[in-house]
Amino acid sequence: MVFDKNKRNMRRSATVQTRQTYNDYYKSQKSNALASVVRPESTKRSLLVSSRQNRAHFKRMPSYIALLCIAVAIFVASILNTTPKIIIEEDRALYNKQQYIDSASLILKDSLINKSKLTFDNVSFKNKFKNLHPEVNDVNVSIPLTSRQLSIGLSFITPEFLFKPANGNEVVVGANGVVLARSELVKKSVLQNLMIVADSAPIKTNNGTAVLLPSDVSFLRSVTEELKLAAIDVEKISLPVGAGEVHITTKQAPYIIKFLLSGDAKQQTGAYLAIKKQAGIINEKTEYIDVRLAERVFVK
């Protein structure tokens, strides 16, 4: 009896397990069937959305092409001609106008940035141009709206002297005391009115190099102007080595006038003119007149 009872229990548990396994299988099949039904629907929706987006992009294609054409047209219109228009005062320029045009063209061709109105670097262009031409005081660049040719206006530093150092390289020096150009390269009309300043020291005279202090230039200009007002023409200006003084020779007399560069130009010139008017002090044997001291004048 016990055996039969155990046998029945085993049969019942086997039957329950079989039913549970069947139920699990049925559920999984049902869920797979539902999934197979849902997936095609979502795929259809995504395909529909994608198709609508593609049609929208296709409808906008003419707008895209128009924008691209506009962008290309703007870029082409912004490209600058590498031969600019130079505006200068011919009588103040050290070189002919064509030389300034060539210099500007060289800078424009050398830089991709400066070939377009959209990317033109005004500061960089000015600095490069001044490096090539230290005689230029200012560079005014005008970028046109419709034309492709730059307009460049140049103003110049006033040339003051022909400077001759001991090594013999004659250069033009401006009002700022800087070497502007080699004398043999500039226009002859510029050199005609320049006073010669001879320096006893061998000095490097590369373009852009300062060979005189601005105060020295101002002193020499003041002295020569004061002498000119007194009808005295300066023939030569000499700078002794390390003396801090200047020696001036006039066309009217063979002697030297010694000035102190750090002194008062008008006071020293006035002292010379005063001693010159006194009879019997200056004669044909006079070697020099020293006006470097404010209260005394030495004559030898």
Instruction: Please give the mean pLDDT across all residues of the chain.
Output: 79
Note whether residue 42 is domain-resident. yes
| Same-domain check for residues 43 and 174 | no
| Mean pLDDT confidence for 1-15 | 47
Q: Write the pLDDT tens digit of every residue in 11-36.
A: 455 444 444 444 454 455 544 444 44
Asked if the structure places residue 76 within a domain, the reply is no
Same domain as 181, residue 107: no
The mean per-residue pLDDT over the stretch 200-210 comes to: 89
Whole-angstrom Cα distance, residue 94 to residue 136?
9
- Give yes or no: residues 167 and 248 share one domain: yes
For residue 56, the enclosing domain spans 1-68
Same domain? For 204 and 286 the reply is yes
Q: Residues 115, 62: one domain?
A: no
Residue 25 within any structural domain of the chain: yes
Question: Is 229 inside a domain boundary?
Answer: yes
- Tell me, what amino acid is at 192? Q
Q: For residue 138, what is the domain's CATH number? A: 3.10.20
pLDDT tens-digit map of 214-232: 999 999 999 999 999 999 9
Is position 7 within any domain?
yes
Q: Do both 148 and 234 map to the same domain?
A: no
Nearest Cα neighbor of 239 from 156, 295, 173, 283 is: 173
Q: Of 207, 239, 206, 40, nearest to 133 (Cα)? A: 207
pLDDT of residue 283: 77
Last residue of one domain, picked from the residues 40, 68, 96: 68
The CA-atom distances, in angstroms, between 242 and each of 154, 155, 200, 233, 245 are 37, 34, 9, 26, 8
Average of per-residue pLDDT across 256-278? 90
Domain boundary among 68, 101, 123: 68
Confidence of residue 63 (pLDDT cuts 50, 70, 90): low
